[in-house]
Structure 1
Amino acid sequence: MAVRKVDFLVLGGGASGLSAVFYLQRLLGERLKRVDLVDEKPQFRNKIALLEASPHIGGWIHSTRTPEGSIHEAGPRSMRPAGIVGRNSLNLASSLGLDDEVIPVLRSHPAAQRRFTFTGGKLHQFPSSFATLLTRQEPFSRPLAVDLAREVLVKRSKGEDESMFDFGVRRFGKEITENLIDPFCRGVFAGKTTELSVRSCFPQLFSFERQRGSVILGGLLGPTAIDPTVGESDLVRRAKKERWSIWSLKGGLQCLAEKLSEVVQRNGAEVRTQMPCTKIEFVLKENGGNKKIARVHTAESVWEADRLICGIPAANLAEVLPVDLSPLSLHLQQIQSVTAAVVNLEFEGSHLPTEGFGYLVPSREPSNVLGVIFDSCAFPQHDRPEIKSTRMTCMMGGAWFHDLFGDPDKVDCDWLASVALATLKTQIGLSAKPTYCRVNLSKDCIPNYKVNHHRLLETIDAYVADNDLPLTLVGSSYKGVSVNDCIYNSRLAAQRLVPDGQLAV
């Protein structure tokens, strides 16, 4: 079997893996200059390769364009510009030449101002102004300002971590936890507040309490974390000036992954799809003393790399590690993920029950959907260009998938579609027949960081260091599930691997 030797080998062609290659190339800079031409192909000093198991680049990012011209997202559909991670992603988009492709949603837009929960058979708007905090609104028994004022006086916790439910009840009370925090956790993680870690799932909230003494004060005073290496591109300055809430791209977020792939290949990286890894070994480097290299097996070749960067899910990595690294495999298997079904729907005409981003359903409510996104409100640019249509997305399953729908390997997707449509009829009175319906079943797609997840990561990092493994872990399994988090954490990983390199932004 042929042996391919590279300096850096990246597993996984999602946002994390592609970003890792991009930042490595930028940091290596002059060291990536062409040496000569071999078979009319440019050769580079530092060889970087990326292997993706599926035929699809982008990981969970997956945009679909219908023959009629509408765009539907099977995974992430928008990104936030706020904070270090948001600014970094905008800088990346600008570096890729995507400035003119960006579609922003301003903070004044209904999709930013109006978000709802479905409780007691009705839609209830999330508080969106100071005035709404001072008056009692359903489903709350008193004005939210009462509980928010109390939060400032709550003492800091001395524990290392706690569940989002315990954190919410302790700081805000049960009503806010059940009606706001719980559906928010379902929308982001499709997970249970009683299990999700506040420290790992929402590190900013944890930091606000630890460093400011209060979540409210932390929000008012601003984040404590800074990264001077993340600058401000023209796109960042535009987002600040225009007060963006979220953004996407004209062709869907898939365009970000495709552009990343195009750019890194143009700069010399080898990107291979349909190349699943079957086994990983770490062996001593020939004439390298005690230095180890990674040996990655695929069906058609063996890849040897001085450094292996894994952007595949932790559970998938555990399956291909050798028996002698079984302790690491066991640690990785403890990082659990949930399965989600995303049902993309399109209807002719106008069918939104109200203007807004959509609604989420608290876990105490009997519901077959976690929430519904009113795609046509936020991004009407993705609707059909010639005929008025309404696009919606139903999110289903998550931590409740098995209880509601059974085994993901045996579930009938047509049945899931019928359940979604029946739920829309019950909850918002939508009985129109869709002109487009597609069910995207993503198995184990959203990691759920359980309480004390940070300790698990410390154990994994210590094992890798103690065994001198040339292994770097990136991706949503570890420190953030959003596209922003994945991109930024890959940037940090690349900076650790090339500490003497510099990034423009």
Structure 2
Amino acid sequence: MNVTIIGGGLSGLATAFAIQQGARRLGLEINLTILEKQRRAGGKIRSEKIGGYLCEWGPNGFLDSKPATLDLCRDAGLGGDLLPSSDAARRRFIFSDGRLQRVPDSAGGFFRSQLVSWPGKCRLVAELLVPRRADGADETLAEFVRRRLGREALDQLVGPMASGIFAGDPESMSLRSCFPRIYELEQQYGGLIRAMLRLARRKRAEIRAGKVVSGAAGPGGILTSFAGGIQQLTDGLSRHLEGCLRLGIDVEAIIPEKQGFVLQCRDGQVCRTRIVVAALPAMDLALQLEKSVPAMTALLQQIPYAPLQVACFGYRKNAVPRELDGFGYLAARRSGLNSLGTLWSSSIFPQRAPDGHVLLRTMFGGATRPDAAQISAEDVQRCVREDLARTLGITKAPDFVRIIRHEAAIPQYVAGHGARLRALEAAAGRYPGLFLAGNAFFGVGLNDCVARANRVAARVLEALQNTR
């Protein structure tokens, strides 16, 4: 039975690995192929080491609070290479009112913090009085936060978080698709503060009963990577799948037929397969289905992507006036910075910079700056240097510069995303054997991609068993 995965990024590799392992357990004989148009696997996951600096093109790790990715690492033989971030990475900052302000990690710290004014703090507490929204509307993140927490919370706290995770614009982001847990908390408990109090009370009771061990990781978990960068994960998966990977194969069209699909490639190759897993960007899949399934193409074209340029700057430690004792900072919505924020990469993980040096990684662009990909590397470098002078007091030129351009970096789950997904799944369901994976649909994070890969793999294995 032929199973073909289009796209050799993390989603495609993780789906293929799960199918491969599952088929072995079930005794299924399959012919598994991964078609990737680039000459390397991994997609946007790429860890580049230059002169002792380690630059991440895409994500720089994953949170260890979700077991699926940890299980994947262990199953791929990489468990012993996992590298947790430093304790300093728990400290995060927001640049606001002309200075870096630490994000409070407790209720007491929040009320002592000057990140939000006293009127803004009072408005946050008044969230207890805000009724639950019961009409089922797909609010934008900005609409939800202004309704429940106030404008200042949006500008100072939630807006920077949205730009840090999604490079997104909260005015257009779908709350239910981007932060489904927050939507669920309002629906279940009537409000966010009520939810926090109830959940904290429940956790204390579970700790007293010995059901939960309290740890220092916090609810988000610990950011985790590898000594050689997050590319070690995709490289490890690629080794397991070496016989299945076909690089430099660009699929031009997916054409459903009675029993499976025909894949037409740009080099003239034609492949027939019973099952197709599409694990590639939405706009690429839209082109492949344009002639055969135009209804899906129209929906896929409604998923926009944010452009991003990543600026990696290396400095001697003595060129940085401030101690880099944290994860980094994000920019408040009205901070006046050119960039979204800067990660202090060499403080998050060891050996990201040569001895006596530091590595900073700045994100430039995002959904609020749709022209970002067209800006020259020289102008990006100038804008980032201006920002680092304001935020960290760095006046010297960097010793090392690497600018990485992503014209389509992160898919944006804009309002209505959930309805589009339901329509896409329904349309794909008319063609048995067509499955959707990748970060364009059910979560942009690394953990989300692995969880989706496992779900898709389970559905593929079920389909294979049913056709034996």
Residues 501, 282 of structure 1: alpha-carbon distance in 2 compared, 3 angstrom cutoff: closer
Say whether residues 1:472 and 2:452 are aligned partners: no
For 2:445, which of 468, 482, 488 is the aligned residue?
A: 482
TM-score, structure 2 length as denominator?
A: 0.90
Whether the 8 Å CA contact 2:346–2:352 is kept in 1: the answer is yes
TM-score, structure 1 length as denominator?
A: 0.83
Q: What SS does the corresponding residue of 2:448 show, helix, strand or coil?
A: helix
| Unpaired segments ≥5 residues, structure 1 | 1-5, 34-44, 224-236, 286-291
Whether the 8 Å CA contact 1:81–1:239 is kept in 2: the answer is no
Question: Which residue identity lines up with residue 435 of structure 2 in the other structure?
Answer: T
1:50 deviates by 0.4
1:213 deviates by 2.4
- Across the two proteins, how many residue pairs are aligned to each other? 449
| Unpaired segments ≥5 residues, structure 2 | 201-211
1:402 deviates by 3.6
Say whether residues 1:21 and 2:19 are aligned partners: no
Percent of aligned pairs sharing the same letter: 27
Q: What SS does the corresponding residue of 2:351 show, helix, strand or coil?
A: helix
- What's the counterpart of residue 151 of structure 1? 127
- What's the counterpart of residue 42 of structure 2? 58
1:494 deviates by 0.9
Whether the 8 Å CA contact 1:8–1:308 is kept in 2: the answer is yes
Whether the 8 Å CA contact 1:341–1:440 is kept in 2: the answer is yes
Map Cα deviations across residues 175-225 of structure 1 (whole Å, 9 max, x no partner).
Answer: 1111100010011111111100000011111111122323334445559xx
1:136 deviates by 5.0
1:440-455 equivalence runs, <5 A: 440-455=404-419
Map Cα deviations across residues 50-82 of structure 1 (whole Å, 9 max, x no partner).
Answer: 01111222111110111x333111110121112
1:117-156 equivalence runs, <5 A: 117-135=94-112, 137-142=114-119, 144=121, 146-156=122-132
Say whether residues 1:214 and 2:214 are aligned partners: no
Whether the 8 Å CA contact 2:83–2:225 is kept in 1: the answer is yes
> For residues 332 and 457 of structure 2, what CA distance do their matches in structure 1 show?
39
Say whether residues 1:111 and 2:89 are aligned partners: yes
Question: Which residue identity lines up with residue 80 of structure 1 in the other structure?
Answer: L
> For residues 68 and 464 of structure 2, what CA distance do their matches in structure 1 show?
17
- What's the counterpart of residue 52 of structure 2? 69
1:25-424 equivalence runs, <5 A: 25-30=20-25, 45-66=29-50, 68-82=51-65, 86-105=66-85, 109-112=87-90, 114-135=91-112, 137-142=114-119, 144=121, 146-158=122-134, 159-219=136-196, 245-265=222-242, 269-285=243-259, 292-350=260-318, 351=320, 353-354=322-323, 355-384=325-354, 387-402=355-370, 405=372, 408=373, 410-424=374-388
> For residues 199 and 265 of structure 2, what CA distance do their matches in structure 1 show?
47
Question: Which residue identity lines up with residue 473 of structure 1 in the other structure?
Answer: L
Question: Which residue identity lines up with residue 54 of structure 2 in the other structure?
Answer: I
Whether the 8 Å CA contact 1:134–1:143 is kept in 2: the answer is no
Residues 15, 217 of structure 1: alpha-carbon distance in 2 compared, 3 angstrom cutoff: farther
Residues 417, 450 of structure 1: alpha-carbon distance in 2 compared, 3 angstrom cutoff: same
Residues 136, 16 of structure 1: alpha-carbon distance in 2 compared, 3 angstrom cutoff: closer
Whether the 8 Å CA contact 1:136–1:142 is kept in 2: the answer is no
Question: Structure 1 runs of 4+ off > 6 angstroms?
Answer: 237-243
1:143 deviates by 7.4
Q: CA RMSD in A?
A: 2.5
Say whether residues 1:461 and 2:431 are aligned partners: no
Whether the 8 Å CA contact 1:352–1:390 is kept in 2: the answer is no
